[in-house]
Structure 1
């Protein structure tokens, strides 16, 4: 699954809490029994061996793995476009390891069980809305076929079997999304990754629908009102990557060698799909992965389905990958957006080998699954695509996400126990993706590129169609490189925290005569690591800051003397992690800081400039450099920058600083001076950007997030209604909605009518969601009261995609006083919301808390944590990280004052 969020693509109020959404709990959360009435209790309680609660614990999964040796499923499903439920029959052909001595439970969340048979004979059972229980006395042999007749409602939160009705044309689409524990919302079965199975599927569906799963259909029988689709038995894989998608999708076809490719999208968006990009990026990924792994694509076909209301970026279902249809742009994509698309395509394809062919035994190894796909996607783009700045983009996105997450108090080791599937859901974060991917990225430098590749290939060959653990992977790498990785594994995978390095040097006759790398560790995680980095040495020559030397270095411990540096040119600038080899935070030496302040625009290497700019912001975020000094530096130097990645980085942090300025305690005059400086700079950059360029789109996005003065809001209104134009800037529908939301954010001009006019032009689901967002953000007391009440008391009236829009727009950073008036019910309702079974809903609810830069707000968070000790992992993580962001903002404010 790709849950990676490009930091440049999300609203700025959430950048300070970005790692909240995909956090992992540091301490386990015990599942608690619920007061749940047992359905069909036909004998004494036989489910006491398993706690009556949502989710699955690792301990019970282990027990069930000891019971079951092998299982295959035959599944028949009836789909209808009009009803709220679907029905099905599943036959589970099971071989047990031995005669059972405990009850058998079958995972099935939120459905209804009509009947159960064992070998054709009806048997008593219990169902508690979470799982089915069958007494072992009704399973006396080592092999049985269990048949379950069942019903289940369609989902409206993107998990299980999700139903979407397109408001544009009223066509209905279905798709599944299961990771980590929602496959049992499609059919009753054993929903754990180490009980791999083969699946035989048949589906009855409306006549105008296409039905998609892991295999291509072998035949379709036409009925009077429906068609009956039959699919052959699949290869063996885990149920969380099984799939069922259906609806009147538009289909395009191509081939990657002899592998059939299909791309599908809903009809109302079909005209916007850039099929050439999709198929090109897909075929390039196939061209790279098959020889790299030395294993041909292990399945028979490869479909890619663009799904509405999708919760993640994408999901790697075997042979039928789903993508969030926000990847369909209704305007021209920037190069960064095209690269992001290519990256997610490569990420999901890499999973077909690493995750689908070879699968983790349990969710404690989820990081390896996602980290590997993260690293391999970037490697594929770097070595076999048009994108020559892949690793710069990785540094700008996933790496910064990882660094940001790893400095929070809620950071954690890459590898740690996962006690249950709730914790597994919480494990999608900057550590799992960004840090894990970065740690893998350093291994080819440490082991050798070919040795690393060979180790990966051997691992996949040895464990094809099987389950594996971290030790399996590490042992194959170590054997291929003839290197003991035990120490490396302990340092990097089992210890949390981000180390910092700083180089110090002395020179004589313009040559280095002494150079040392000093490594420090955070107080909370006192571990010093070993890794290979690269020194970049810069000198001013002919008016440019040129890189005159590079030096690979293996450092370890608190102090590493680099004797190989003796005799190299004396640096006027030294970067101790040149080209981002290592996973480490960098402190610049005094000589470098002084010269970079003067010559940052003179650095020839764009990647080096990017990293120096990032270091500048890091100093601000660490409250070493004041916010006004940082703003002044950007205004004085940023306008001359032409590299798009550096512009994206500076644009991101300009928005970040603007959000902080809205809340840091300042005099009205001083606040207005600083915010106006930011606004004027951004507007100037937008006007001066090359016509039709990516820079123009970047600065437009920033402008719609930080514009606040009457002249700026007037420009925005005039752009929207066509009374003013910026040459080369073509407003697509989504850009128009940004301007409308800005009007509503400040109640400017005819903000209500702007929504009405736009909906008359475009009544798509995207427009309706944007209209909802624009209404929610209005800074009116009665409006905030209304939407807080909707969020708390009327959540069932909204689907999850709407809840997300409500929470992300509820309190803009400058609306903190409105939050102080109306936000207390959000804190008070945490215990109530905590009882919701939807992890996706809990994630969305965390958005409702805005940036908070006051001690009073921070104390309120601490109070909630103390008074509500039973909160689930996602909410605990959210509150702790909100508190951390607030404390950071307070410290930044002190530095500014």
Structure 2
């Protein structure tokens, strides 16, 4: 999502070390400054007048340079600089002219109309190969003023026109204007990705969210392409030599990171939606030409048409833009991006093989997540990246509300528990955890906040907030917030103010505990009973080292097994806080077979089961009827937490999970339970017992597979996991036979995706050669998806030569971003002994990767090539 973390100083600058820089700025002797990072206090001046904002900001080696007495931060931008610039600059409009004829670079001409404080100095952002022209208010400025991703404007007028002509580079890593070639037909596809600071890779811009403007794009491109942007697509005007020009109308007032250009021979379907104000909103769904036969555009349009009226009523605002296109793009680093009226989506969501039910539902939730952003994020936009979490958490929460109430996936909150909350709990227990409302001091800080805390935990806390203030008050507050801040920028405090007014609750302390502190609390039952009746039931709360004891709005349920089926026999909701809270409604009742804290899943916490309940559940996990699917899912993931926290051994957890898998039918719960089974078996089990456990689990899973309904989602997911867990010669022979159509379970289609999973497992087990992989690619699946799958299979080959080749490819960083993650996953598959020579190499490489690669490349490399004693991947995908 973000560009490289630091551009080296050009020859016109004098680089200095952090110690000497710190010494020059605040007078510390160099010995008192650390060699890697430090904190210093900057006071920015404006024409001799001290800026009103002072704060501590971080400076890092390799990023900051001293020039003419001030800091130039390379490609970074601090919050302080952005606040200072917003005090003196107000943007009005941009005209961006792009020439997309060439294959390696493109021409960009930007005209910016803006007002400002006469006589003040400022800068505009740009990352380009070269700058050919800079003109401010009719006066030429030397192109040499473009340095370190900025164009310095020494003195602006009250009203200004800036013209910048530049040559920019296409990206092949997913940022800026990305260029991809479809191996199926050789066609070229472009798309832009600007969040957070990458519109400057396509045009000159005041790159910060609170300087909104109207943007007009003019694009010269091959005439057979389609070109999309935020504004409705105009009729292309023919130009000589097979070219055409698209002249877009001005956008609504939006932030620069929300602009976009998507271009190429995209194909798709169209529709319309009638808004409450009578407008006919054009709808479109598009993908690469080679994917058109797989594009189920009718379903995407149906979900969109279900979401539109739901959000319009919920927010009391009609859809704010003029059209709504959804374009599935190749080699995408993220799931989707909320450009107003022109959403881009990962084209893995165009299903070329049979998808799992979890993946189909995830696509629906993604569609509704981006649609929610049209109001919360696009119509009203954050002031600065501090509130990135607010955009994403709110959209993630609302996407599940809309999915559950407006689509066929009415059990979306089961999915939320299994996926988003599980992701959040996992990341909240890592050393890298951070508060939801993180302190975003500069663009670098944004990099670590597109994660499970921002999305999963933030959405979970919104779920808790709605329970805390009441849904009616929540809706009323959100409507007021959107009405007051429409087409502008806002902060978390703006939203809290409206929610406090609507609910009558003081949310400042709540916000401090939930949003400004990291970590997760653990809730455990404390029960005293006599002769089968509960004397006292209390909820005990423990905090980790990051968190305080928090307030929770929570429910408690009790369940008895009656005629082989669990039935709810007790239930209450209450507010809890502090270390111990008594639940008075449960005092004096007969002891239920199972007691469950956080029944209904309102709270965000780890929850423990008492011993009696756990014992009962181990035997009867399959006794929950369909209407209690959420309760069953909560228990499944509570038991997983016991294993993950070392309170249940891997073999016992595997037995429990296998029992649950005999009946589990919910697609996302099935997916995560299978993934956890693989992790417990292959990673958490004692090494001396691992092989025996792997064989036992594999045999049981194959038995369950044989009993799965032909053609069902259960059958597909069980088959995929059985392939991953295959280790014995007999198991490997069995799955290899599927490639030839031998002994395939009735109803299971061995399509391209499943074939590649078998090839990858056989490669890791040293059962095939590179020639076999190449033959599969050329003769059966010469597509972008096939290329990525083949890259993973080649890297998985269990030979020193294959690992060395994969490692060198990863270090070179020249492969397309879509294949890089696959290469990482393949590299770590198979015999762990082959990775021993790379342990020291890995740790020696981490810092360079982070400093020199894009965030996506560095993250993939660091995350997925981490050397473990793991045999076989645990990442099953969705």
> Which of the numbers 545, 551, 556 marks the counterpart of 2:572?
551
Q: What is the CA–CA distance in structure 2 between the aligned matches of 1:298 and 1:649, rounded to whole Å?
A: 37
> Which of the numbers 149, 160, 164 marks the counterpart of 1:131?
149
Partner in structure 1 of residue 460 of structure 2: 438
Q: What is the CA–CA distance in structure 2 between the aligned matches of 1:466 and 1:307, rounded to whole Å?
A: 29
Q: What is the CA–CA distance in structure 1 between the aligned matches of 2:426 and 2:57, rounded to whole Å?
A: 23
Q: What is the CA–CA distance in structure 1 between the aligned matches of 2:320 and 2:673, rounded to whole Å?
A: 43
Evaluate the alpha carbon distance shift between residue 380 and residue 537 of structure 1 in structure 2; reply closer, same or farther with a 3 A threshold.
same
Superposed CA offset, 1:483-539 (max 9, x none): 1111111111111111111122344675544221111111x1251111111111111
Evaluate the alpha carbon distance shift between residue 100 and residue 531 of structure 1 in structure 2; reply closer, same or farther with a 3 A threshold.
farther
> Which of the numbers 384, 400, 417 marks the counterpart of 2:422?
400
Q: Does 1:235 align with 2:252?
A: yes
Partner in structure 2 of residue 611 of structure 1: 634
Partner in structure 2 of residue 838 of structure 1: 854
Superposed CA offset, 1:164-214 (max 9, x none): 111111111110001011110010111111111111111111110111101
Q: What is the CA–CA distance in structure 1 between the aligned matches of 2:798 and 2:547, rounded to whole Å?
A: 46
What's the secondary structure of 1:126's corresponding residue? helix
Aligned-residue offset at 1:606:
2.1
Partner in structure 1 of residue 700 of structure 2: 681
TM-score of the aligned structures, taking structure 1 as reference length: 0.87
Q: Does 1:629 align with 2:647?
A: no
Evaluate the alpha carbon distance shift between residue 689 and residue 283 of structure 1 in structure 2; reply closer, same or farther with a 3 A threshold.
same
Partner in structure 2 of residue 575 of structure 1: 596
Q: What is the CA–CA distance in structure 1 between the aligned matches of 2:690 and 2:511, rounded to whole Å?
A: 49
Q: Which has the higher contact order (CA 8 A, sep 6+)?
A: 1
Evaluate the alpha carbon distance shift between residue 819 and residue 28 of structure 1 in structure 2; reply closer, same or farther with a 3 A threshold.
farther
Partner in structure 2 of residue 185 of structure 1: 201
Superposed CA offset, 1:755-812 (max 9, x none): 41342222111111211111111121122122222322x22x3222222222222112
Q: Does 1:253 align with 2:270?
A: yes
Could you tell me which runs of 5 or more consecutive residues in structure 1 were left unpaired when the two chains were aligned: 3-24, 39-44, 855-884, 886-897
Partner in structure 2 of residue 702 of structure 1: 721
Partner in structure 2 of residue 653 of structure 1: 676
What's the secondary structure of 2:365's corresponding residue? helix
Q: How does 1:60-99 map to 2 (within 5 A)?
A: 60-80=81-101, 82-96=102-116, 98-99=117-118
Partner in structure 2 of residue 19 of structure 1: none
Q: What is the CA–CA distance in structure 1 between the aligned matches of 2:427 and 2:64, rounded to whole Å?
A: 37
What's the secondary structure of 1:835's corresponding residue? helix
Superposed CA offset, 1:224-269 (max 9, x none): 2211111111110101010011111103101122211011111101
Q: What is the CA–CA distance in structure 2 between the aligned matches of 1:718 and 1:193, rounded to whole Å?
A: 56
How many aligned positions are there? 812
> Which of the numbers 123, 136, 149 marks the counterpart of 1:105?
123
Evaluate the alpha carbon distance shift between residue 674 and residue 70 of structure 1 in structure 2; reply closer, same or farther with a 3 A threshold.
same
What's the secondary structure of 1:840's corresponding residue? helix
Aligned-residue offset at 1:640:
4.5
Could you tell me which runs of 5 or more consecutive residues in structure 2 were left unpaired when the two chains were aligned: 3-37, 40-55, 275-279
Q: Does 1:822 align with 2:838?
A: yes
TM-score of the aligned structures, taking structure 2 as reference length: 0.89
Superposed CA offset, 1:715-762 (max 9, x none): 111101223321101122111111111111112156632541342222
Are the counterparts in 2 of residues 192 and 238 from structure 1 also a CA contact under 8 Å?
A: yes
Are the counterparts in 2 of residues 105 and 132 from structure 1 also a CA contact under 8 Å?
A: yes
Superposed CA offset, 1:600-628 (max 9, x none): 22233222222222222211111111112
Partner in structure 1 of residue 20 of structure 2: none
Q: Does 1:712 align with 2:712?
A: no
Superposed CA offset, 1:806-859 (max 9, x none): 2222112x53322212332222223432331522221122134335369xxxxx
Are the counterparts in 1 of residues 146 and 152 from structure 2 also a CA contact under 8 Å?
A: no
What's the secondary structure of 1:164's corresponding residue? strand
Q: What is the CA–CA distance in structure 2 between the aligned matches of 1:846 and 1:750, rounded to whole Å?
A: 27
Superposed CA offset, 1:458-497 (max 9, x none): 1011001111111001111111112111111111111111
Q: How does 1:121-160 map to 2 (within 5 A)?
A: 121-127=139-145, 130-137=148-155, 139=156, 141-160=157-176
Evaluate the alpha carbon distance shift between residue 702 and residue 433 of structure 1 in structure 2; reply closer, same or farther with a 3 A threshold.
same
Are the counterparts in 2 of residues 155 and 161 from structure 1 also a CA contact under 8 Å?
A: yes
Give the aligned CA root-mean-square deviation in angstroms.
2.3
Are the counterparts in 2 of residues 371 and 440 from structure 1 also a CA contact under 8 Å?
A: yes
Q: What is the CA–CA distance in structure 2 between the aligned matches of 1:506 and 1:782, rounded to whole Å?
A: 63
What's the secondary structure of 2:852's corresponding residue? coil
> Which of the numbers 336, 344, 351 marks the counterpart of 1:314?
336
Evaluate the alpha carbon distance shift between residue 194 and residue 601 of structure 1 in structure 2; reply closer, same or farther with a 3 A threshold.
same
Q: How does 1:190-209 map to 2 (within 5 A)?
A: 190-209=206-225
What's the secondary structure of 2:233's corresponding residue? coil
Q: Does 1:422 align with 2:436?
A: no
What's the secondary structure of 1:658's corresponding residue? helix
Q: How does 1:338-487 map to 2 (within 5 A)?
A: 338-487=360-509
Q: What is the CA–CA distance in structure 2 between the aligned matches of 1:755 and 1:35, rounded to whole Å?
A: 47
Q: What is the CA–CA distance in structure 2 between the aligned matches of 1:404 and 1:35, rounded to whole Å?
A: 34
